[in-house]
Amino acid sequence: MNKGQHRGPEARPRVIGGDHGWWFLGPGGIARLKPHHLTPAGELRPEAERVLRDRGLFRPPAFRSYSLTVLTSTNCNLGCAYCFQNTAQDTAGGSRPPRIAYSRLTSATIDTIVDFTRRRQAEAGLDGLVLMLFGGEPLLNPRGCVELLSRAGGLGLRWASMTSNGTLMTVPLARRLADLGLRDVQVTFDGDKDDHDRIRVRRATGGGTFDDIVAAMAAMTAATPIKCGIRVNVSHHNYGGIDTLVERLGRDLDPSRCSLYFARVGDVGVGYDNDLAFSGDMAARFHRWQRRALELGFAVPRPRAHTPCQACSYPDGRYGAVVNADGTLSSCWETAGKPDWQVGTLTDGYLPAERTADRWISCEESYQYADDLSELTRFQDTVDAALLDYLSATGRLGAGAA
């Protein structure tokens, strides 16, 4: 991981080519373009840009809520070898790689988080809050999750999410969290059952987790309003089984309560790499998985412009913060809990910019690819254009498209 610099707040529109024309993806929406709207180099002509600006497609929505990510526990009950929070590999070849230092959110730290957030909201002129419960595994500290959500109600909580491995969620706990405002839980699958159970393993035993995650998410979505956001990690280790995974999830979960997102995993963690090529065949696979997920009733996130992250793309956390369980601040969820990457504390605020410039990275920089960036961009543009073509042809593109 390379230490970065403060990133500016500029959203970057995208123009990508589909089968029957071009697509404009701006921070304010999506529009289909005709060939005469572009120069031979594929850039917007001035008159086309003027029309898009007049429609507001260059203008990002104004922030109304402060973005807060909190690690409730840095421990995890899984021992995935590629986790970005591992500090080394398990020298015994097992499922217990050493991790970032242990810390657990307490009532005293929650008091400090509430005071810090209230001050930051006032400074930014924001009257709402969007909260992400993070870890480690956040449900290793269920009491901390419940207390933080309860206190967040006094900060104008508008939306709360959780990133979890899914193995510890129970129906009584889900009901309690839903009552306090939790609206979605994000879980990850590393391919179909056999691949997943080889990669995403229990720390204590090395055993698989696939069936337990599916069962927990099915029970949660049946018993509460909480939705399930499913991320599928795609690598050379598992891509061959993802067609089967989509069918299995469509059978065992309620697709109408779930979204499905496919992500080509970059080189993260300790001793992990991904040899999956950015090929035309792989782009076609991604589109096939997306199309089938939609046919089964899953939501699939729409492509979008490159937009800045509230927490890490603005200097000194102007509109958001990432807080470790011990009360230290980081620029990004990926560096939380790593002492060399701290950028301040809840009590003292952010360090001066000259001291944090080499520690401030954005989530866009979290996954590092050895590949040429232009190759990655072409791959993503191909996948996104195919999805937009399909959404348009099937009448699923919906609001926000011009």
Residue 273's pLDDT is what? Answer: 66
* Whole-number Å distance between alpha carbons of 107 and 343: 23
* Whole-number Å distance between alpha carbons of 96 and 202: 9
Residue 311's pLDDT is what? Answer: 87
Residue 246's pLDDT is what? Answer: 98
Is the residue at 25 inside a domain?
no
Longest dimension (CA), the chain: 63
Is the residue at 357 inside a domain?
no
Instruction: Count CA within 13 A, CB hemisphere, residue 300.
Output: 26
Cis preceding-peptide flag for 191 (omega within 30 of 0): no
Is the residue at 16 inside a domain?
no
Is the residue at 222 inside a domain?
yes
Residue 316's pLDDT is what? Answer: 84
- Tokens of residue 376, six digits: 């990655």
Residue holding tokens 């306090």?
Answer: 180
**How is residue 225 annotated by DSSP?**
S
Residue 205 lies in domain: 66-307+364-375
Is the residue at 230 inside a domain?
yes
Contacts of 385 (CB under 8 A, 6+ apart): 16, 17, 18, 19, 23, 303
Q: What are the two backbone dihedrals, phi and then psi, of residue 150, each rounded to the nearest 5 degrees?
A: -60, -45
* Whole-number Å distance between alpha carbons of 324 and 355: 19
Residue 402's pLDDT is what? Answer: 56
Residue 127's pLDDT is what? Answer: 95
Residue holding tokens 């003027």?
Answer: 50
* Whole-number Å distance between alpha carbons of 344 and 154: 24
Between the CA of residue 23 and those of 12, 49, 309, 392, 395, what are the distances in Å?
Answer: 14, 13, 23, 11, 16
Residue pair 169/137 in contact by the 8 Å Cβ criterion: no
Gyration radius from the chain CA atoms: 21
Contacts of 362 (CB under 8 A, 6+ apart): 4, 7, 308, 309, 312, 313, 331, 332
* Whole-number Å distance between alpha carbons of 378 and 277: 12
Number of structural domains, the chain? Answer: 1
pTM for this one? 0.93
User: Which residue from 378, 200, 384 is spatially nearest to 300, judged by alpha carbons?
Assistant: 384
- What is the domain-level CATH number for residue 128? 3.20.20.70
Is the residue at 392 inside a domain?
no
Residue 8's pLDDT is what? Answer: 47
Is the residue at 358 inside a domain?
no
Pairing label, strands 128-135, 157-163: parallel
Secondary structure (3-state) at 116: helix
* Whole-number Å distance between alpha carbons of 57 and 22: 15
Between the CA of residue 382 and those of 35, 198, 390, what are the distances in Å?
Answer: 17, 31, 12
* Whole-number Å distance between alpha carbons of 193 and 199: 10
Residue 337: CB atoms within 10 Å: 24
Residue pair 235/200 in contact by the 8 Å Cβ criterion: no
Residue pLDDT tens, the chain, 402 long: 434 333 446 678 999 999 988 999 999 999 999 999 999 988 999 999 999 999 999 998 889 999 999 999 999 999 998 898 999 988 898 899 999 999 999 999 999 999 999 999 999 999 999 999 999 999 999 999 999 999 999 999 999 999 999 999 999 999 999 999 999 999 999 999 999 999 999 999 999 999 999 999 999 999 999 999 999 999 998 999 999 999 999 999 999 999 999 998 765 556 666 778 889 999 999 999 999 999 999 999 999 998 888 888 887 889 999 999 999 999 999 999 998 899 999 999 999 989 998 899 887 654 444 456 788 889 999 999 999 999 999 998 875 455
Pairing label, strands 29-33, 21-26: antiparallel
Residue pair 311/322 in contact by the 8 Å Cβ criterion: yes
User: Which residue from 145, 146, 150, 147 is spatially nearest to 133, judged by alpha carbons?
Assistant: 145
Residue 377's pLDDT is what? Answer: 87
Is the residue at 132 inside a domain?
yes
C-alpha 83: how far from its chain's center? 15
Residue pair 265/376 in contact by the 8 Å Cβ criterion: no
Residue 314's pLDDT is what? Answer: 86
